[in-house]
Amino acid sequence: MGSASHCSFQQIILDIKNLRSCYVLYNEPIWYSVGPDRAEKLIEILNKPEQDRQIRNRFVQSDAIPEWIKDDAIRWYQGKEKDSILSYGIRYLINSKMIQTPIGVFDPQNCDPNTICVAKNDYIKHSIKNTQADDVITLTHTVEGVDDIIILSSTEVSKSGKKIDRLGIHKDGLIRGDQKYYQFAHKIPIEIGSTIRSAFDIKVTDEILFPINNAKRDAFLAWDKTKQYYEVIDKQTGIVLFVKQENRILKSEWTATLVDTNVFTKEIRIQYEDMRIPPWFRSTVKWWTEDKVSDAEYLAGISYLIKNRVMQI
């Protein structure tokens, strides 16, 4: 009995160590590398003493430059890390709005402001449920062309069969017709406090992290004035992630949930083959880590280099 308990305890300890190792590796930028030395770098990270590992939480935002970014920068200018490590930190600073960049610099679709951000061959699929109907509708919008209007091929699949429509909509993303009013995306940029025209006029009240397809998206939450209707809207693309409408009189619900899209996979990530960091930038990083350059000066310098395409990450 004692031996069995001992073995079980050892197994629990082993499982905890394995879980911790997975967490460490998942939060390392090199995990997403496609370089030939990826495996060796990951092994090297696991072999480091636990107190020396810099665990990066990709979902926690901060108003100050995180210490792990400075630690990475020190190792980079010392030649101990590759450019991808510095680029990861800079991407974090951009996503956290600490570094200001012009609209479109990191957007492969070069979306114009005040339009929905879609391009040809983009698709957005929602699963639509109504508690008053014994059916689940899958509705997929595929972009056929973007000009003065956006041409969509809309495919609806339900128990009654498959139906395909072709829609022409304005760049504000509104679709009206014989079917139920349906909004699949909104114009960007979106700000807290703004009012959005949708099935109802909805007001953006909160910024949240919304789980979608085993990931988390920065999103906005917007409610109508009755609090019976709300939408969760992706912050970067304007795509509607989730909709819920309640009818308190009929005690019914209507929901639309995003189940698939190729738009998110086109977002900017570190471009390992096309990165361009000037060699002399090592001196700037060194001065910053030695407090000879302030955080504000360092961030402003990076912003200038990116805007003028001297640096490309």
CA–CA separation, 250 vs 172, rounded Å?
31
Between 211 and 274, the more confident residue is 211
Provide the pLDDT for residue 9: 41
CA–CA separation, 287 vs 301, rounded Å?
12
Q: Which residues pair with 115 in a beta bridge?
A: 188
CA–CA separation, 143 vs 155, rounded Å?
12
Provide the pLDDT for residue 16: 45
Between 242 and 179, the more confident residue is 242
Provide the pLDDT for residue 59: 39
Provide the pLDDT for residue 248: 85
256 contacts: CB under 8 Å, gap ≥ 6: 126, 127, 128, 129, 139, 182, 240, 242, 243
Domain ranges of the chain: 11-104+269-307, 123-266
Highest-pLDDT range among 60-64, 149-153, 287-291, 302-306: 287-291
DSSP 55: -
CA–CA separation, 50 vs 246, rounded Å?
50
Look over the chain and give the mean of its residue pLDDT values, rounded to a whole number.
76
Question: pTM of the full predicted structure?
Answer: 0.53
Q: Taking 70 as the threshold, does the pLDDT of residue 2 lie above it?
A: no
CA–CA separation, 150 vs 109, rounded Å?
14
Let me know the angle formed at the C-alpha of 204 by 199 and 205, rounded to the nearest 5 degrees. Answer: 130
Chain position carrying tokens 């109508």: 224
Q: Are 153 and 166 in contact (CB under 8 A)?
A: yes
CA–CA separation, 75 vs 73, rounded Å?
5
Q: Are 46 and 22 in contact (CB under 8 A)?
A: no
Helix, strand, coil percent values for the chain (each to nearest 5): 30, 30, 40
CA–CA separation, 256 vs 93, rounded Å?
33
CA–CA separation, 279 vs 294, rounded Å?
21
pLDDT band at 178 (very low <50, low <70, confident <90, very high): very low
Mean pLDDT of 116-140: 89
Mean pLDDT of 92-120: 66
Pairing of strands 136-146, 150-158: antiparallel
Let me know the angle formed at the C-alpha of 68 by 67 and 74, rounded to the nearest 5 degrees. Answer: 95
Provide the pLDDT for residue 156: 92
Q: Taking 60 as the threshold, does the pLDDT of residue 101 lie above it?
A: yes
Q: Which of 258, 252, 249, 257 is nearest to 133 (CA)?
A: 252
Q: Taking 70 as the threshold, does the pLDDT of residue 163 lie above it?
A: yes
